[in-house]
Structure 1
Amino acid sequence: DFCELSLDSTTAGQNLSVSDDNRLATLVKEKRLYPDHPERFDRWRQLLCGEGLTGRCYWEVRWKGRVQIGVRYRGINRRGDGDNCCIGRNDQSWSLFCTAQSFTAWHNNEPEEVPVPPPDSNRMALYLDWPAGTVSFYLLPSVGPSAKRTHLHTFHCTFSGALYP
């Protein structure tokens, strides 16, 4: 099922600007003057979506530059700059680090290079099959609906709670 997700601005780090419709996050140089909130990441440039997922769900992401895309449990630590707060660097999250040259899968602070050519697109699809314990990442073609998507990585895990993109 396609999931329509919205960003939770109360979790956004201070160098992220969230659009009024909660669909776009942009990295900004000057820190935003967000009110303090217990859900906010205070050091990392991260945020969560508002919807926790426990079924089968598909969604798409567009990005520019370097970005970590993934899922995590809601209870991930938000205070400080340690690995326990950063997506993919702990046992509470699964992510793909994307650059113009490569992809690296991260879980529990263990990187795994994804052996694919440099991306020609900035579009990614994620498919969560929570009951089966998988989250998969696909590079989507930059043009044309008939172009083929490229499987990048699948994590396998027995999930213990809702996951938040």
Structure 2
Amino acid sequence: SSISTGSRSSPAFQQIIKTTGVLDNNLLVFCVLFSPSDSCEVKLNTNTANRLLVLSEDNRKVTAGREEQPYPDHPERFDYWSQILCRDGLTGRCYWEVDWEGGVRISVTYRGISRRGAGDDSWFGANKNSWSLECSDKSFSVWHNNISTYIPAPPSSHRVAVYLDWPAGSLSFYSVSSDTLIHLHTFTSTFTQPLYPGFWFGFWSGSSVSLCQME
């Protein structure tokens, strides 16, 4: 489902945006209410970046490369998966947007996710500690605990919004196109720890994520 919100700097957005979506096959209507005060300025934690990831634009853009970067050893660095986390754990109501290219997963995870090896315990969306939206030019899919749900609609834009309502146990993803938010999926859970935004990049170079400035 989609709604027209007007410009995100307009009075309509400055009050409240209402978005409704249908969850799974239960025809359960889930209502999300959020305001500009929920906007979060997420920042990348460079100590977590896999060495095949290239940081640019004042550490606001991450691009998957072919050559390892000379990042120092760090216990928080992902040593196999092309992944990176953001700095701050979130426990409130938070809204952020990212631009993406190629094949990526836009994720949140508990801090304790493994950083070592190629197992599911370290891959965003493949374990019980992380939730992901996978984006490609052909489709979207969502992942949690290595279970995926295909979203057949092709991307209408390459900008995604994430809205986390940690106290309510909901995590929603939207496609952002001009002044329209298109609901893609909402996870519901009982979150027990702060959630860290993070990103996974497919096994080809050129995939990228850019953090959007939230006004």
Q: Structure 1 length as normaliser, TM-score?
A: 0.94
Match of 2:157 in 1: 121
Alpha-carbon distance in structure 2 between the residues aligned to 1:136 and 1:91:
17
Q: 5 Å matches for 1:35-114? A: 35-114=72-151
Letter in 1 for 2:173: F
Q: Structure 2 length as normaliser, TM-score?
A: 0.73
Match of 1:157 in 2: 189
Letter in 2 for 1:122: H
Alpha-carbon distance in structure 2 between the residues aligned to 1:164 and 1:31:
24
Match of 2:210 in 1: none
Q: Give how far 1:115 is off.
A: 3.3
Pick aligned residue for 2:58 from 18, 21, 27: 21
Alpha-carbon distance in structure 2 between the residues aligned to 1:100 and 1:114:
12
Alpha-carbon distance in structure 2 between the residues aligned to 1:62 and 1:72:
19
Deviation sequence 1:136-163 (CA, Å, 0-9, x none): 000000xx33xx2110011110001000
Alpha-carbon distance in structure 2 between the residues aligned to 1:35 and 1:126:
31
Alpha-carbon distance in structure 1 between the residues aligned to 2:184 and 2:107:
13
CA contact (8 A) 1:130 1:159 kept: yes
Q: How well do the aligned residues superpose, as a CA RMSD in angstroms?
A: 0.9
CA contact (8 A) 1:102 1:114 kept: yes
Q: Which structure has the highest strand share of the two?
A: 2
Matched, 1:30 2:67: yes
Gaps of 5+ in 2: 1-37, 198-215
Deviates more, 1:72-81 or 1:24-33: 24-33
Alpha-carbon distance in structure 1 between the residues aligned to 2:86 and 2:76:
12
Gaps of 5+ in 1: none
Matched length: 160
Alpha-carbon distance in structure 2 between the residues aligned to 1:163 and 1:73:
5
Identity value in percent: 56
Larger radius of gyration: 2
Match of 2:171 in 1: 135
With a CA cutoff of 8 Å and minimum separation of 6, indicate the structure with the bigger relative contact order. 2
Q: Secondary structure at the match of 2:83?
A: coil
